[in-house]
Amino acid sequence: MPHKSFILVGLRGVGKTVLLSRIDELARELGYHTALIENTEDKSLPLLLAPQLRRILFELDRLGEISVVVKRSFRVLKSFVGSIRIKTPGDFELGLDVDAEKGAADSGDLESDLTELFVSVGEAAADRHTAVAIIIDELQYLKPAEFSAAIMAIHRINQRKLPVILIGAGLPQIVGLAGKSKSYAERLFAFPTVGALSADDAKLALSRPAEREEVFFETAALDELVRITSGYPYFIQEWGYHTWNTAPNSPITIGDVKNATDRAISRLDESFFKVRFDRLTPSEKRYARAMAALGSGPQRSGDIAAAYGTDVMSAGPIRAKLLAKGMIYSPSHGNNAFTVPLFNDYLKRVMPNEN
């Protein structure tokens, strides 16, 4: 039997996507049949799942002699796809040369249909004495009905003790969204947190690869890199890259780090930060800038609204849009924080005269 389903939780740039890719590799090594899916805001979960489950069923079909259980799962998938097409005509086509399983996964109710589909896939995997891992990144972009359906499907899988596991990753708000969707979600999933590295681990992430090339860091240089990056893996990677290319020789000094900092910040501003900033409307940018002006930690909605120049009620829709876009989250009631580490510093650089 597979282990308990779980969802990695953390801010941007902490390595959740990299971890999911590694989990996918490990699962395959253990004999799982995996579906690795990157969720998006503009595509539905059923449309992302169907091609992956089709591939898995073909893998199961090739494992041995003809299986009635596997063949039925193909038909259930065909029914499920037919139900999708009713809601989005002409938007999706899946090559399955089988008849649909009438009365299975074709009701048009996503919770019911997705549950029947997952159960049929679980039964097919059990029939082949193997297991399936469905791995989904960016879970916070799931529509409420999709998230609810996925949770209900895994609940039924657990009740039936079928060999299907759901592994996901999402921003911090995913824990609250799961509980809001289904009260029993906390029993179904573990929610391990992925965060910044400790100072010691951050130093090892920088020094150990360098030592393999017989290059060393001065202690002061490592201390400065930990301070600047706050231990976030993506920033460690970026500053480490530019420091390596800036330093003329070994050992790498604090001066080399400072010389590399402008390049690292420029690179982050042009890519990591900008790609998220550009998704915001002018009013959302102003709200985010007002929030940044208050400091780096979580900020009260009322304080942000006041800095923005309005009241909480009027600012509410803007805040809601930033939450939906995954730019901010609420670590506690009434508080708001950026999902992108160091984003407040970026906003001050690109919007210096605001607020």
Give the end of a domain, one of 245, 276, 307.
276
Q: Are 223 and 229 spatial neighbours (Cβ–Cβ below 8 Å)?
A: no
In a domain, 288, yes or no: yes
Predicted pLDDT of residue 95:
63
Q: How many domains does the chain have?
A: 3
Query: Is 216 in the same domain as 119?
Result: no
- Per-residue pLDDT of 240-251, as tens digits, reads 999 999 999 999
Please check whether residues 171 and 117 belong to one and the same domain: yes
Residue 175 scores a pLDDT above 80 = yes
Where a domain ends, among 148, 173, 190? 190
Q: 186 and 313: one domain?
A: no
pLDDT recorded at residue 332: 86
| Average pLDDT over every residue of 215-243 | 95
Domain stops at, among 190, 214, 232: 190
CATH number, domain of 243, equals 1.10.8
Identify the CATH number of the domain in which residue 287 sits: 1.10.10.10
Average pLDDT over every residue of 236-241: 95
| Domain shared by 30 and 175, yes or no | yes
Closest CA to 305 of 319, 315, 296, 297: 315
Q: Where is pLDDT greater, at 355 or 107?
A: 107
Same domain, 11 and 156: yes
Which residue in 12, 7, 36, 17 sits closest to 325, CA to CA? 12
**Within a domain: 355:** no
**What digits encode the pLDDT tens for the residues 100-128?**
777 788 788 899 999 999 999 999 999 99
Whether residues 21 and 153 share a domain: the answer is yes
Whole-number Cα distances in Å, 220 to 196, 232, 252, 303: 20, 18, 9, 38
* Amino acid type, 251: P
Same domain, 249 and 329: no
**Mean pLDDT, residues 302-310:** 94
Percent of the chain at pLDDT > 70 equals 94
Name the average pLDDT for the chain.
90
| Full domain range(s) for residue 334 | 279-350
Residues 24, 41 share a domain: yes
Whether 170 is covered by a domain: the verdict is yes
The pLDDT of residue 85: 64
Q: Which of 43-47, 89-93, 290-294, 310-314 has the lowest mean pLDDT?
A: 89-93
> How many whole angstroms from its chain centre is CA 149?
18
- Residue 6's pLDDT is what? 94
Check residue 2 and give its pLDDT: 52
Tell me whether residue 183 is in a domain.
yes
- C-alpha 69/C-alpha 181 separation (Å) is 31
Closest CA to 161 of 134, 115, 123: 123
Q: Are 146 and 288 in a shared domain?
A: no
Kindly state whether residues 97 and 21 are assigned to the same domain: yes
Per-residue pLDDT band for 354 (boundaries 50, 70, 90) equals low
Q: What is the mean pLDDT of residues 142-168?
A: 94
Q: Domain of 21: which CATH number?
A: 3.40.50
Listed in sequence order, the residues at least 6 apart from 233 whose beta carbon sits closer than 8 Å to its beta carbon are: 13, 14, 15, 196, 197, 205
- Same domain membership, residue 103 and residue 16: yes
Give me the count of residues in the chain: 355
Percent of the chain with pLDDT over 90: 75
Is pLDDT at 93 greater than 70 in this prediction? no
Residues 6+ apart with CB under 8 A from 212: none
Range list of H helices, 230-342? 233-246, 254-268, 274-277, 282-293, 301-308, 312-324
Residues 78 and 49 in one domain: yes
The whole-number average pLDDT for the span 130-148 is: 93
